[in-house]
Amino acid sequence: MNIKSLAEDDRPREKLLIKGKNSLSDAELLAIIIGSGSKKESSIHLSQRILSSVNGNWNELAKLSIKDLCKFNGIGKVKAIEIITSLEIGRRKSIQEALKKEKISSSKDAFNLLHPIIGDNMIEEFWVVFLNQSHTILHKEKISQGGITGTVVDMRLIFKQALELNAVSLIISHNHPSGNTQPSKADLQLTQEIKDGGNLLNIKLIDHLIITQSSYLSFADEGLL
């Protein structure tokens, strides 16, 4: 059967079977998750509308709540839950892929590890990656969580954990929900304090990453350490 002769809602599934997953557009992938459209609109047209509302950005789509998705005519709670579940599976897959790389050899490696965790967050979180002598990851942990504009960090918690793990170096990171990667005065001061504290214990701070949804700033790369 020719794909074009099928009902529009059925075409993405047949296309995947015949041509493979890489042949599908973003709208067609989302249409498969949605399942069926309505009498007035196919699942593909509905998917195109939803993606257009976030400029085709899957990361922005992942931020939408069940209530947000249900505002689209043709999306009920069940379909909204299925969309959110699929995107969450993708997020967790990204985390697992990042964890396969046990060593951190660049700021990009650190970004790939942490971005799936905090990149989409709407509140600030402060994370620490603990490393051994060869920059192999020993552990990663959220140290604090704050509001939209900041979070409070207790350095004692960082170094207590570092000593327990016998870590010799650290990478610290936090997200900026605003999308601005530039460090604030508080960011610069905190970085210096952690660096100084680590020097006393012979635990080196090798980078501080400010992460947004689509980019990051590395203190090490920018010469801010």
- Per-10-residue mean pLDDT, the chain, length 225: 54 86 90 85 91 91 92 93 93 73 87 92 93 92 77 89 94 94 93 96 97 95 94
106 and 72 inside one domain = no
Is residue 225 assigned to a domain?
A: no
Q: Which of 79, 95, 111 is the last residue of a domain?
A: 95
Rounded Cα gap, residues 204 and 172, in angstroms: 11
pLDDT of residue 149: 56
pLDDT of residue 3: 45
| Six token digits for residue 154 | 């207790």
Rounded Cα gap, residues 122 and 178, in angstroms: 8
118 and 44 inside one domain = no
Q: Which domain covers residue 168, as residue numbers?
A: 102-218
pLDDT of residue 41: 86
Is residue 223 assigned to a domain?
A: no
Q: Which of 35, 70, 95 is the last residue of a domain?
A: 95
164 and 211 inside one domain = yes
| Six token digits for residue 42 | 């196919």
pLDDT of residue 205: 97
Rounded Cα gap, residues 140 and 90, in angstroms: 20
159 and 207 inside one domain = yes
CATH number at residue 183: 3.40.140.10
150 and 176 inside one domain = yes
123 and 206 inside one domain = yes
141 and 202 inside one domain = yes
pLDDT of residue 36: 82
- Counted domains in the chain: 2
84 and 39 inside one domain = yes
pLDDT of residue 1: 47
154 and 107 inside one domain = yes
Is residue 224 assigned to a domain?
A: no
Is residue 204 assigned to a domain?
A: yes
131 and 204 inside one domain = yes
pLDDT of residue 120: 87
1: Cβ–Cβ under 8 A, 6 or more apart, which residues? 14
Is residue 130 assigned to a domain?
A: yes
Are 172 and 128 contacting, i.e. CB atoms less than 8 angstroms apart? Answer: yes
Q: Where are the alpha helices (DSSP H) in 63-174?
A: 66-69, 77-100, 107-118, 155-165
114 and 212 inside one domain = yes
